[in-house]
Structure 1
Amino acid sequence: MAPRAQLSQERSRQRREALLEAAVDLFVEGGSRAVTHRAVAAAAGLPAATTTYYFATIDELLREALNHHIERWLETVGKLADVDVAGLMSLITRDTSVQFASTVLAKRTPANSTRELAVILGAARDPQLREAAVRALTTGQHLLEDFLHKAGIADAEGLAEDLVALIAGVALRRSAGVNPEEEEPAKVVRALRNLVIGHLLEDETGTRMLEELRDRTLSGRSDASP
């Protein structure tokens, strides 16, 4: 049987954890104005005075909550570092790519996207938390870079950077409900395909294609002119 002191410490840890989670939930739902001592305690199912016992100010509570959430997210991302790249790549074919994307998006719901975006944006606006927000983004980028390098992509760093921007854009689109969820997998696969193909092209080839597109566009405008 655990000593009484250990039980008390565990109960204290659980209460503090509950307050941090509640603060993040309120922040995601209503922004920083929704995060008050009373609201956080109520959302955590704890007495109103509990928040001031653990946190001197509401700003301290919110900062700790956002930072705590980012740190937990980074721990989750870190576990993906040892993924079997060859095994994962073997699952992605022309016929299964959309289904594969559907499986991934099903595990990362729009609610998840909204939560992560809100936390990272909230941290980025706070000078004391901006470093944590940057770390969250760059950690994901470095993980993608390592994955792409193992997959044989030449410009792994550049593609990883662009993929982070694409992922953030998709998360924002899903959060806003721009498209029906059943349409998202195919749209994501299309975007990924175009992005990867663009990186696989040599700079000179890609530039030449853009110049040809420019010339066709200008020519079309010229033909349409009176």
Structure 2
Amino acid sequence: MSSNQPPTRRFDPDRKQRIINAALDVIVEHGVQGTTHRRVATAAGVPLGSMTYHFDGMDDLLRMAFEQVAHASSSEFVARLAQAQDREEAIEAIVDIIAGNIWSTPRTLLLSYELYAFAARKPELAAIMREWMQSSREALGRFFDPLTSRTLDALVEGMGIHGSVDQAPLDRHEIEDIVRRICR
């Protein structure tokens, strides 16, 4: 190759998504405050310059990463509720969501904590959380009134959070009892 030719660029159509995924890994390991361009680029295996090429700063990257988390978590919740044909099956779905940790895996919970804290400091990003909650409430609204839907949505998230640190988490029967009390 002649020294007068420009270097060839490698075609990498998945680079942006790889960076977003790496950002989530870095957030899990270091928290939002410890997430830097350099750490994310290293985790994604991309040159540091790719960060500014694909994103308008760290807030843009974090927004896209958290949108991905919210969308994935919401999709699982909505998909499980979509299987329900009536109120009784919806109650069973809610119990499954809570008891089966459908959305509250340790990784998703940690990312959710980070998202809540980040959105509290950056109110313009609170819309991500509001969309997530709205999606859940709409799915619940097929079977429950708006106040019950809101309460059940908060229960699902709250039980996931409590279950992540509780040394004696509730079993499936106790969770079902609580859900049925709310749905009376």
TM-score if structure 1 supplies the norm length?
0.62
Query: Which has a greater percent of helix?
Result: 1
In 1: Cα distance, 2:73 partner to 2:183 partner = 29
Q: Match of 1:184?
A: 170
Percent of aligned pairs sharing the same letter: 22
In 2: Cα distance, 1:56 partner to 1:144 partner = 36
Structure 2 stretches of 5 or more lacking a match?
A: 1-9
In 2: Cα distance, 1:43 partner to 1:142 partner = 37
Q: Match of 1:58?
A: 58
Q: Say if 1:21 and 1:65, in contact at 8 Å, map to a contact too.
A: yes
TM-score if structure 2 supplies the norm length?
0.73
Q: Match of 1:168?
A: 157
- 1:136-180 alpha-carbon deviations (Å, 9 max, x no partner): 11211221221x34xxxxxx32222111221121121233x2225
Larger relative contact order, structure 1 or 2 (CA cutoff 8 Å, min sep 6): 2
- 1:169-194 alpha-carbon deviations (Å, 9 max, x no partner): 1121233x2225xx4334xx424423
Q: Say if 2:74 and 2:132, in contact at 8 Å, map to a contact too.
A: yes
The 5-angstrom pairing of residues 1-226 of structure 1 reads 8=11, 11-12=12-13, 14-80=14-80, 82-86=82-86, 89=89, 104-105=100-101, 108-146=104-142, 148-149=143-144, 156-175=145-164, 177-179=165-167, 183-186=169-172, 189-200=173-184
With over 3 angstroms needed to count, the CA separation of the structure-2 counterparts of 1:111 and 1:89, relative to structure 1, is same
Structure 1 stretches of 5 or more lacking a match?
A: 1-6, 93-97, 150-155, 201-226
Q: Match of 1:221?
A: none
Letter in 1 for 2:171: P
